Amino acid sequence: MTSHLVILFSILISLAAAQTGPKITVQPAPPNPFKLQKKTVYPWKKRITATVFWIGEKPTPRNPTPNNKSSWDQKWQQNYGGYDNPDPKARNGYFPAKFTPKQNPFYIALPYNDCLNYRMHRPEASRVIPWWKRVVTKPGRSVCKGRWIQIYCPSTKRVCYGQWEDCGPFTTDDWEYVFGNKQPKNTKNQNAGIDISPAIRDYLKVGNKARVHWRFIEFSQVPKGPWSKYGTNNPFVNPKVDTDIAERARYMQYLRKLRDEQYRKTRD
């Protein structure tokens, strides 16, 4: 089995090298998806302006997109359980006071949507998303939704964790910033490059347009905290959505399929 896997990994590397497309500097995901990593492998995006947004936010002239829906969930507010009122008086600690959230209140938005619609991915997605090769997914199904983010605020010295659940601020195609080494191409709200939920705002002890550092992080590296308490989309609460386990299982199935195809070719 080991020799077969070595051959299959060599084939995958050759196929990846043969691809053409945009070139950016990214930190790749771990080469062995079956081994949990002890060290974070994703680089920091530093001094990024973070704006506050919330589920159920109504459109305004400056921000015409309502947040009762997300880029990946047409019933986001309903599936969350209600309006995530950002008013501190309407909150119970880090959570909405009027209901128990059905999804993780620690959510963020980044300005990239890997799906053009519910039938296909963006053409560059397979080349620029570091964990793409570890995920076998259906066309049009996001491989970004639910990914964990680590956020550090230099001014308050606090670290928070949240899940990627929407796209923005303002743009949805900025892969050069999200996965590469460029600054956000958005020019509004002090070149905002990440949206944070009221729960993250309160945990970091910041206001709107705070400067933060952020990076992707594997779920296996996320410590327990208030972000681990609620949500059917939260692997702390619902192990079935643990992307580490799901990705390794899907990837093993994919490797077996490639092995069988190569074996058939050698017999023909």
Q: What is the pLDDT of residue 259?
A: 85
Task: Using 50 as the pLDDT threshold, list the residues of the chain that sit under it.
Answer: 1-3, 5-24, 26-30, 33-34, 36-37
Q: What is the pLDDT of residue 26?
A: 47
Contacts of 114 (CB under 8 A, 6+ apart): 121, 122, 125, 129, 142, 143, 144
Q: What is the pLDDT of residue 176?
A: 97
Domain boundaries, the chain: 2-267
**Which residues are paired to 211 by β-bridges?**
49
- Neighbouring CB atoms inside 10 A of 161's CB total 23
Q: Residue type for 44, please?
A: W
**Would you put residue 139 in left (φ > 0), alpha (ψ -120 to 50) or beta?**
beta
Cα-only R_g, the chain: 19
The answer to whether 195 and 140 are in contact (CB under 8 A) is no
What's the chain's average pLDDT? 85
The answer to whether 142 and 120 are in contact (CB under 8 A) is no
Q: What is the pLDDT of residue 31?
A: 52
DSSP states of 144-210: STT-EEEEEETTTTEEEEEEEEEE-SS-SB-HHHHTSSPPP---STTT--EEE-HHHHHHHT--TTE
What's the CA gap between 180 and 57, in Å, rounded? 30
What's the CA gap between 247 and 33, in Å, rounded? 8
Q: What is the pLDDT of residue 20?
A: 44
